[in-house]
Structure 1
């Protein structure tokens, strides 16, 4: 985390101004792209590409986008984009002038996006409030997802990463956490994604076999963590906090994890992310992970990502005796 940025937040005057401008309520959590990413050339390249793509796509509608933050928040551009690309007819006004109308419009639009892209709520990296508040990170995630679905051949720059800071207002003050997020995959991953992998095939074309694969993974996991007195019944939820994954890695790799290094009973998303990031680092150090993973996907219970990680462990240790 940038020390100057953190120091600024510890100064009462700046902190009060920040809270007033961003209206962070008690218990609310907000994520921002850190100022240190403002000179990120790949990020700028992605922004310019998306703006150019939007303008070419919506040329016949006489729409000109100059800023992703300023021109998309009210839903007008997104409305035209979905009609143009997906032939969707949304039951909302073309122009929404009040914030209430804009929020209603965005709600309908984003619901249509999720349905069209077949995404569950836990998989969404954007929200009505985030887009409405001109949040660049959420806007980028949304546009990249739409572009990948409707324009899979659009040559987006690979491995666009940004530093983020999550700020949560608690009863004790501000809690901050930093992370590095990958908005687009790296070149190898993008090429791999262009060809449906086994799990894409499983989820889209053979859902009837999905439960059988889950059962195999559950047997494998319980075989190795059973000696700790633990039992996993649900892949979707029980790996989200990173605890089971860390303990499983320790059992398979044969080392003890110091309880000081992770949260055995994580009480917040930040603590869950810490656990998952630690697990991913251990997997990378052990050459057990050959693709990039966004830790938020695990915390958000993305079962496909979780199963891919379990498969990496299963492939190496399926014959390991307890």
Structure 2
């Protein structure tokens, strides 16, 4: 009986395992290499007085020592931790303490890093963490703009391995960010667009409708009512799949949702995809989309449009 329980537990763990990694071809992207070099220079200049030299973002940061020193220099926080952590358990303990303090200051809504991923020398997680640290502690510093990577998302279960490839944003497109951020520096440009007069808001809405239809035509689908047709999450999932070039398995969502719970599941899944892509949707709740809230729906579609659309055309129409 104990053996059966053990096997059942192993199967449950197998079904839950998810793997996320940068595609090997993306590792040779000059933009990614430039970002890594910039972050290395930043770390070394920050820790120069302490005579610490980092040569690899993953090989030199996984044990918590460098991150601990960065925390001290940038936030003046000095934790009572041993300088050197040699065993895995000691390194994990140190990372838990250091990342705990960093997360308090970075306040990530959906952290793209963890103690486990950093300790396992995951480059993607480490890059997300360092970019977030630069943005918070030294916002005046310019990082390479518009750095994206192709990421393999794999799920390992009892039935085998399912995988898809998606684009993940490491740094935003600086030009688009400067052009579309409002005078008040609003984090979400749609907040500013929605403050325009009714005629211009209608222009924005029509542009997003045209954008959605242009990308759904290949599926033989057409959108005429943004709020209503995106409220159950189906159209949104299909649109994301079309734009990002991956297929969402039909068993992951309900193609014809019949109740509120199924709609919430679909929309929540879509929002999780957008978060993985690095798009600004942290303030949007699934229930708002399901409730056909115009502002929330437009913000979600604008997040996709800002990455895949031709923003200059919308801006010229509004000016």
TM-score of the superposed pair, with normalisation by structure 1: 0.60
Take 1:303 and 1:116, find their aligned partners in 2: how far apart are those partners? Answer: 18
CA–CA separation in structure 2 for the residues paired with 1:25 and 1:187: 41
Q: Is the 8 A contact 1:69 1:136 kept in 2?
A: yes
- In structure 2, the residue matched to 1:10 is none
1:142 is matched with which residue: 129, 136, 145? 129
| 1:264 Cα deviation from its structure 2 partner | 2.3
How many residue pairs match? The answer is 228
Give unmatched runs, 5+ long, in structure 1. Answer: 1-23, 203-222, 231-238, 250-258, 279-292, 316-322
Query: Distance between the aligned counterparts of 2:188 and 2:175, measured in 1?
Result: 17
CA distance in structure 2 between the aligned counterparts of 1:179 and 1:313, rounded to whole angstroms:
18
Change over 3 Å in CA distance of 1:224–1:148 after alignment to 2? closer
User: Which residue, out of 113, 121, 127, partners 1:126?
Assistant: 113
| 2:246 paired with 1:246 | no
Distance 1:277 1:90, change over 3 A: closer
Whether 1:87 and 2:76 are equivalent positions in the alignment is yes
Q: Distance in 2 between matches of 1:194 and 1:78?
A: 35
Specify whether residues 155 and 97 from structure 1 end up closer, same or farther in structure 2 by C-alpha distance, changes over 3 A only: same
Instruction: Name the CA shift for 1:313/1:69 in 2 (closer, same or farther; >3 Å).
Output: closer
Q: Report whether the alignment pairs 1:96 with 2:85.
A: yes
Match of 1:320? Answer: none
Q: CA deviation at 1:109?
A: 1.2
Structure 2 Cα separation of the partners of residues 305 and 188 of structure 1: 28
CA positional deviation for 1:119: 2.5
Per the alignment, residue 282 of structure 2 pairs with 302
| Conserved 8 A contact 1:273-1:296 | no
Cα offset for 1:32?
Answer: 0.5
Instruction: Output one character per residue of 1:223-282: Cα deviation in whole Å (capped at 9) or x when no partner.
Output: 954xx9x9xxxxxxxx8xx717739x9xxxxxxxxx97x932699xxx87984599xxxx
Moved over 4 A (4+): 271-278, 293-298, 304-309, 311-315
1:271-309 CA distance string (max 9 Å, x none): 87984599xxxxxxxxxxxxxx655568x9822598875
Deviations 1:148-189 (A, max 9, x none): 111112111110010010122100111111101110000134
Segment of structure 1 superposing worse, 68-77 or 83-92: 83-92
CA RMSD of the aligned region, Å? 4.1
TM-score where L is the length of structure 2: 0.60
Which whole-Å deviations, capped at 9, do the CAs of 1:79-131 have from their partners, x for residues lacking one?
Answer: 000100111122322221110011111111111111111224xx100011100
- Matched residues in 1 for 2:182 and 2:97: separation? 29
Find the counterpart in structure 2 of residue 264 from structure 1.
254
Q: CA deviation at 1:30?
A: 1.4
- Which residue is 2:41 aligned to? 52
Unaligned runs of 5+ in 2: 1-12, 192-225, 240-248, 289-294, 303-319
2:17: which partner in 1?
28
